[in-house]
Structure 1
């Protein structure tokens, strides 16, 4: 058997770390700080010794999980909304719950979304897809930048539990971490997430990288407080839906409930 190259070993290491962190996020979502390394191993389908080789204690694991999530936390404010939903945006925001459930399961609702029971042929399906894309783009525009950003973030949390935990722990000041570890995380979160979000709330546009550095230095306290309160409201509303596995399809309901 040909020995693995250094590059192959590194690829395996990084893949294993990602597997362990994802499992840790899923376990932490349900057990919080009661999480144990053996729980993570079981969730990841790995041996206890394998996980322990990478992380000998849960503090290091959760600290790395949050930093890793922070690297993915930027960019959601300006990502195209229509690229994210698995459920058509109009269905999320306007359709009854039966239609949302059918759409999320991949089944066509009885009578169709707009009441048509006819089975489309291939040509009409292509036309319908084109019309649907136009409707979703229009619906995204109708949402407004803050509501659209909120729906995007909720949908990302549904797919990436570590991102949800990052925002939840940030709202709690990363209190379970020692100050030497929590302070750099909190500072980076303010820069990467709160500053661009507060700019969006103030002007309707997220700050770019250059503007963020300026905002961070002289940002009025009320702006950051508004961003923190919005994220706290999203975290609280997302909690029940996330535990039920319904957050992606209920993201629009939450946006409407909060009147974003």
Structure 2
């Protein structure tokens, strides 16, 4: 048998890591922080020793899972960052263009088969509602993304402070700031009358973005556990009056 090349070994390693992280996210939905490495191994269909070779404790596994999910967290909403006003600190201008991005392939074939027929556009629902629906549909396809948003709302308290602080700062930069920019654009589109003639402050919009994500996480939980989130996302958006 021909020995594997270094590139083949690296491909196998990355594929195995992705398999373990996906299994860990699935287990966390049911067991929360009580999950153990043996639970992840069973969910992934791997031996305990194989998983332990990559992750000797669940803290390291959760940490890597969340950072890996953060790499995909901005795909649901892409905001070109044009020159901001001085007071807007990193937000796109009100007239900026927003686009809902396609989902990453997470290996969930059932969800992937339903993507093409359930694309959401801002013209149908409005930009904020469309973004919320698409995000929930991504959660249905990629449970690690849901876990990222859920734990972000808790300040990543499941991690030690030295690990939670950098992750929370990155989440704010990669997720909350673009969402706040979308909310700012929505306020501008609604007209000054809706806000009493005063534009919302950037900090208020960031808090609004945090509350919106918390509401989506809470409302999506039951549908996600029942395997119905992809198809019920629009109903949730209407319930929340996004």
Tell me the TM-score range normalised by the shorter chain: 0.7 to 0.9
2:207 is equivalent to residue 186 of structure 1: no
Aligned counterpart, 2:43: 43
- 1 or 2, which has the higher helix percentage? 1
Matched ranges for 1:125-204 at <5 A: 140-204=122-186
Aligned counterpart, 2:239: 257
SS in 2 for 1:162: helix
Task: Map Cα deviations across residues 29-78 of structure 1 (whole Å, 9 max, x no partner).
Answer: 11001100000000000000000000000000000000000000012122
Count of aligned pairs:
200
Matched ranges for 1:197-236 at <5 A: 197-204=179-186, 220-236=202-218
Aligned counterpart, 1:60: 60
Give the CA deviation at 1:220.
Answer: 2.9
Give the CA deviation at 1:81.
Answer: 7.5
The alignment's C-alpha RMSD in Å is 2.2
Structure 2 CA distance, aligned partners of 1:140 and 1:192? 21
Aligned pair partner of 1:248 in 223, 230, 240: 230
Q: TM-score, length-normalised on structure 1?
A: 0.73
Structure 1: gaps of 5 or more residues: 90-135, 206-218
Task: Map Cα deviations across residues 85-143 of structure 1 (whole Å, 9 max, x no partner).
Answer: 64855xxxxxxxxxxxxxxxxxxxxxxxxxxxxxxxxxxxxxxxxxxxxxx77x64131
Matched ranges for 1:81-92 at <5 A: 86=115, 88-89=117-118
Aligned counterpart, 1:26: 26
Structure 2 CA distance, aligned partners of 1:80 and 1:48? 37
2:61 is equivalent to residue 79 of structure 1: no
Task: Map Cα deviations across residues 188-240 of structure 1 (whole Å, 9 max, x no partner).
Answer: 000000000001001149xxxxxxxxxxxxx7321110000000000000000
Structure 2 CA distance, aligned partners of 1:87 and 1:243? 23
Aligned counterpart, 2:81: none
